[in-house]
Amino acid sequence: MMAHQPSQFGRVAVLMGGWSAEREVSLKSGAAVLAALQSRRVDAHAVDVDRDIAAVMTQGRFERAFIALHGRGGEDGVVQGVLETLNIPYTGSGVMASALAMNKLATKRVLAGAGLPTPEYRVIDEHTRWDELCSELGSRIMVKPAHEGSSIGMSKVESAAQLDIAWREAQRFDSVVIAEKWIDGEEYTAAILGDDALPLIRLETPRTFYDYQAKYLADDTRYHCPCGLSPADEQSVQRLAQRAFSAVEGHGWGRVDLFRDHDDQAWIIEINTVPGLTDHSLVPMAARASGIEFDELVWRILEQTIPVEDVRKH
């Protein structure tokens, strides 16, 4: 499906902001997307999403939506459901895939059910015995809220004594908290665009892990693309990422985060259906490595909302 003229998109709402803990990141993604679309003469308009989004979309007579929302209310199927009800085409995955991928616990269960490698985990609460958890998962554990992104509320612990503090921090953001076995190895991310996995990026940070600070604020995070793997090993990880994205019925574009341990086994960590889209984010970085500049990337994402038969009319 190829759009040849900006007019084929009609009036486009770039949905950004929202009410999640990732609001500020979303505003940056939305601003970058808006500027890119407008540079290609698309009739695109910024919409800072609030609870009245259905009325805003209707009153604004928008014909399609570019979703640049991150976190709850925008990446979890909620706004996708509103747009489905209004019969407005939108970018990215549908209601079910969005809800699944946003829920780390549900994602783990789907991956395990599909026979895909993901680190061992436990749901934890105030009744969890920390010493028993460490005996099951090991002393190095990642504690995370089940429904947040951008590493918000996440902590890496290295002893049972640190688990209670980490659990309380995660619980500030979510009533459901999971503990995940830490994988020793290197971290990679695989961007998905249509039916293709873009070149892998290997992440390197001097911090304890690739946290919010490393993602958005630090200047010592390093991104390696080419990632350093052999072509065969890179293709193997890319295929695994595509299988994971398909397992949750992801569509259009997204990102799969993985670790590769010292035995060369890749482990799926998370699936993102609306990853960051600033010009410094990971998906645009992988796209550039494929020769796709940022304005072309957002164009390609948006054109996925146009049915093939509509393209043929132009």
Active site residues: 22, 150, 216, 255, 257, 270, 272, 276
SS3 138: coil
SS3 130: helix
What is the side-by-side strand order in the sheet with 177-181? Answer: 121-124, 177-181, 141-145, 155-157
**DSSP codes joined into one string, 35-92:** HHHHHTT-EEEEEE--TTHHHHHHHTT-SEEEE---STTTTSSHHHHHHHHHT--BSS
Cβ atoms of 50 and 97 closer than 8 Å: no
Residue 18 class from Cβ within 10 Å (0-12 exposed, 13-18 middle, 19+ buried)?
buried
For the chain, helix (H) and strand (E) counts, in that order, are 12, 13
C-alpha 37/C-alpha 300 separation (Å) is 11
Q: Letter for the amino acid at 15?
A: L
C-alpha 27/C-alpha 132 separation (Å) is 42
Question: β-strands 185-193, 201-204: how paired?
Answer: antiparallel
